[in-house]
Chain A
Amino acid sequence: EVQLVESGGGLVQPGGSLRLSCAASGFTFSTYYMTWVRQAPGKGLEWVSYIISSGTSTWYADSVKGRFTISRDNAKNSLYLQMNSLRAEDTAVYYCATDRGPYSSSPNSGAFDIWGQGTMVTVSS
C-alpha cells in the first residue's frame, strides 16, 4: 500500500525546535520530489517547503525561510522538516506529500497526489 506517515509533532514553547519525519512506503521514494504543506486550525492550506529527489535542491516559503530545513534520507525512505525558532503562527497540522511526477518536459508537475495524515504542531507557552 502506498503510504506516507508523519510523526514528530507536539507542543513546543516559542523559540523552540521540533523535527518532523515522514515515512514513505509502497513506492520508490527516492525517485519522487517531496513537499511539506501546513494548515493552521480553521484556516486554508499553506505550502511550506519542497525538495527534489536527490535532495540537492530545496525551496521554502518566505514565512519559514531561515528557520526551517527540509531534508531527506532515501536509504531510509524518509523526509524530514527541522523547525527552529518556532513561533505561535507556526501552529498547524503539517502534511508531507509527493509531487505526482513528470509533466510535459518537466521532471515534476508541482501537483501533490499522495498525502500523509498530518501531524499537529502547537507552539505555545
Chain B
Amino acid sequence: DIQMTQSPSSVSASVGDRVTITCRASQGVSSWLAWYQQKPGKAPKLLIYAASSLQSGVPSRFSGSGSGTEFTLTIRSLQPEDFATYYCQQANSFPYTFGQGTKLEIK
C-alpha cells in the first residue's frame, strides 16, 4: 500500500499569511493526488485534483503542485474561513490512501 505523509501535522498562521503543506508518497503516484479541506463536524471539501487542478468554485488563493512522490498545497493570503484541517489523498492505485492531516490554526 502507498503511505502518504503530510508535514507539518499542525501549523499556526495569521490572516494574510502564506502557508505551504507538504505531502510525500512512499512510492510514485504520478499526478494522482487530491487535496481536501475539512472543518469540524463537516464533510471534506475537494480543493485540488490531479495534483494541480483547481476544483470548480474553489478560490484561486489555493494552489497545488508536484508529481511523483512530493506534493505541496499552498494557500496564499489566508482568510478566516481557511482555518481547518487539510488532507492529501493518492488515487494512483488501490487501496486509495489519505495523509494523516494538517491542522491549520489561527496564531
Which A residues fall within an 8 A CB radius of B?
A: 35, 37, 44-47, 50, 59-62, 95, 97, 100, 103-104, 108-113, 115-118
Contacts and interface: CB of A to CB of B under 8 A. Distances in A.
- Secondary structure at the B interface, as helix, strand, loop or mixed, is loop
B49 A60 contact: no
Contact of A47 (B38, B55, B95): B95
Q: Which 9 A-B pairs have the closest CB atoms?
A: A110-B91, A111-B49, A115-B43, A111-B34, A47-B96, A59-B94, A45-B98, A113-B46, A44-B101
Chain B's interface size range is 20 to 34
Interface of B: 1, 32, 34, 36, 38, 43-46, 49-50, 55, 87, 89-92, 94-101
B87 A111 contact: no
Q: Which of A37, A61, A62, A110 has the most CB of B within 10 A?
A: A110
